[in-house]
């Protein structure tokens, strides 16, 4: 068995409708939450690949309800794509592989939740972008995804993680972790703690406006980092938005903001050498262009006005979550080295600092695309 595989997958695979023989599996991707494997199945002499995931049920408290959200969203996207000539559902949306008893997940005897998706072939995810076209394509795909879900039938989706993007609540959790400082790590993060403290006032802008109705609540993805969209090998198009675990009611600003956070950085999220971490205005410009092309028609003037601010807000929020997890002992995000969460926090805060410096230039770019 591949040493990176933590589970006996041969005991899981027979419960899904794969219709073939399992040939092998390998750990896949660089997500921070679920255990993801690429599965190789031979079907009638053909090599087929699937994604098999052990869902992190510490993070997602009600997996059946979460999977029902994903079922509703992917079914709706399938119906939308069916109206578009030439579209290919199994490459342009996640497709759930159901279990033998027709469920979108399998619960094993140890209490692990499993699910499977069709593997999107001839496309890749990237941990950071290397060209303006990738920024444009990724943003266009996320805007299109939001647009397709505007008329999702069946009432509001289940709120998978309550207060997921409630930045003031995230700040309170950070303060509680700091007060407890249970591992004595605060001393090693003084600069980051001060940076966070100085920005508490700006955390409530979006949640306040959602509460007052100045901003609409929509169906949003809520985890739009660059490695959650697949770019097509042949033409670079953003072909498929993946990682639908957090699709629920929210603000488009947190989605656009997370694209800014992960798509405008010249380095990986956990880069240790901060001199390599540069906010790139050219990438921001292409991101705005791509997003406005697919979402510009339905965004309200207030949503558009806050697009530049949303990048700073969520980059701060995610930096704060990495810092909180560092203080709490690395219990939430997967870490692969000592101080990993603190390194991630530092890159986020460095990006916030540079976005603050570039605020006017970012406003000017958005103004150019405003209708
Ligand atoms: P996590 O929640 O841990 O981030 P993801 O669902 O994003 O897990 O999956 C992790 C990685 O696996 C993705 O970044 C992507 O590279 C790959 N992946 C996930 N789903 C698919 C799919 N259907 N086809 C191809 N690759 C996928
Ligand atoms: C997690 O699942 P993944 O790795 O795509 C996290 C996001 C963070 C991101 C930071 C459910 O995303 O909220 O922004 O890490 N997902 C969850 O990289 O907490
Ligand atoms: Mg992911």
CATH 3.30.200.20, the chain: domain bounds: 9-121
Can you give the pLDDT at residue 4? 81
- Any idea which ligand is nearest the CA of 248? 2
* 339 burial type by CB count under 10 A (0-12 exposed, 13-18 middle, 19+ buried): middle
Question: Which residue blocks in 102-164 are alpha helix, DSSP H?
Answer: 132-148
What are 236-280's pLDDT values in tens digits? 999 999 999 999 999 999 999 999 999 999 999 999 999 999 999
Mean local confidence (pLDDT), 107-128: 96
User: Ligand 1 pocket check: which of 51, 73, 224, 231 to mutate, most ligand atoms within 8 Å of Cβ?
Assistant: 51
Can you give the pLDDT at residue 250? 98
Mean local confidence (pLDDT), 138-147: 98
Domain 132-368: give its CATH architecture: Alpha-Beta Complex (3.90)
What are 272-320's pLDDT values in tens digits? 999 999 999 999 999 999 999 999 999 999 999 999 999 999 999 999 9
User: How far are the Cα atoms of 41, 59, 159, 259, 337 from residue 66, in angstroms, in the given order?
Assistant: 27, 11, 8, 23, 30
Question: Per-residue pLDDT for 371 more than 80?
Answer: no
CATH 3.90.1200.10, the chain: domain bounds: 132-368
What are 88-104's pLDDT values in tens digits? 999 999 999 999 999 99
Take atom 6 of ligand 1 and give the residue whose Cα is closest: 243
Pocket-forming residues, ligand 2, beta carbon under 6 Å: 31-33, 59, 223, 225, 228, 243, 245-246, 269, 318
Residue 243 C-alpha to ligand 1 middle, in angstroms? 6
CB atoms within 10 A of CB 63: 20
What are 23-80's pLDDT values in tens digits? 999 999 999 999 999 999 999 999 999 999 999 999 999 999 999 999 999 999 999 9
Mean local confidence (pLDDT), 170-197: 98
CATH number for 9-121 (one of 1.10.3720.10, 3.40.190.10, 3.30.200.20, 3.40.50.300): it is: 3.30.200.20
* Angstrom distance (rounded) from CA 19 to CA 42: 9
Mean local confidence (pLDDT), 205-217: 98
Take atom 18 of ligand 2 and give the residue whose Cα is closest: 32
User: Ligand 1 pocket check: which of 125, 332, 336 to mutate, most ligand atoms within 8 Å of Cβ?
Assistant: 125
Residue 35 C-alpha to ligand 3 middle, in angstroms? 10
Beta carbons of 48 and 42 less than 8 angstroms apart: yes
Beta carbons of 261 and 315 less than 8 angstroms apart: yes
User: Ligand 1 pocket check: which of 243, 246, 247, 336 to mutate, most ligand atoms within 8 Å of Cβ?
Assistant: 243
* Angstrom distance (rounded) from CA 240 to CA 141: 7
Query: Considering the chain, what percentage of its residues have pLDDT values greater than 90?
Result: 96
Can you give the pLDDT at residue 265? 96
Query: Considering the chain, what percentage of its residues have pLDDT values greater than 70?
Result: 99
Six token digits for residue 141: 């795909």
- Any idea which ligand is nearest the CA of 97? 1
pLDDT band at 2 (very low <50, low <70, confident <90, very high): confident
Mean local confidence (pLDDT), 126-133: 94
Take atom 15 of ligand 2 and give the residue whose Cα is closest: 32
pLDDT band at 1 (very low <50, low <70, confident <90, very high): low
């Amino acid at each position: 068995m591949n040493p990176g595989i933590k589970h006996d997958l041969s005991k899981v695979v027979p419960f899904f409708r794969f219709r073939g023989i399992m040939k092998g599996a390998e750990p896949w991707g660089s997500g921070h939450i679920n255990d993801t494997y690429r599965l190789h199945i031979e079907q009638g002499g053909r090599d087929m690949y699937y994604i098999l995931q052990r869902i992190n049920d510490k993070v997602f408290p009600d997996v059946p309800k979460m999977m029902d959200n994903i079922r509703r969203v992917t079914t709706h996207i399938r119906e939308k794509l069916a109206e578009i000539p030439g579209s290919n559902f199994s490459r342009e949306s996640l497709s759930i592989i159901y279990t033998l008893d027709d469920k979108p997940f399998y619960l094993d005897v140890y209490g692990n939740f499993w699910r499977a998706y069709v593997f999107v072939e001839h496309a890749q995810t990237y941990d950071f972008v290397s060209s303006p076209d990738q920024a444009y394509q990724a943003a266009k795909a996320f805007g299109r995804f939001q647009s397709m879900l505007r008329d999702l039938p069946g009432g509001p989706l289940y709120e998978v993680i309550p207060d997921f993007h409630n930045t003031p609540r995230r700040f309170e959790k950070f303060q509680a972790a700091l007060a407890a400082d249970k591992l004595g790590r605060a001393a090693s993060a003084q600069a980051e703690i001060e940076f966070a403290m100085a920005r508490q006032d700006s955390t409530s802008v979006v949640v306040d406006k959602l509460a007052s109705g100045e901003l609409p609540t929509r169906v949003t993805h809520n985890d739009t980092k660059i490695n959650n969209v697949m770019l097509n090998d042949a033409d670079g198009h953003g072909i498929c938005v993946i990682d639908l675990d957090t699709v629920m009611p929210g603000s488009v600003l947190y989605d656009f903001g997370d694209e800014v956070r992960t798509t405008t950085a010249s380095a990986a999220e956990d880069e240790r050498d901060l001199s390599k971490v540069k906010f790139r205005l050219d990438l921001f410009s292409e991101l705005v262009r791509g997003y406005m092309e697919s979402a510009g028609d339905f965004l309200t003037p207030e949503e558009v006005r806050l697009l530049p601010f949303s990048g700073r807000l969520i980059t701060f929020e995610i930096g704060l979550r990495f810092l909180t997890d560092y203080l709490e002992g690395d219990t939430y995000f997967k870490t692969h080295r000592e101080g990993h969460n603190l390194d991630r926090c530092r890159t986020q805060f460095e990006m916030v600092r540079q976005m603050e410096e570039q605020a006017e230039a970012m406003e000017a770019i958005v103004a150019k695309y405003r209708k």
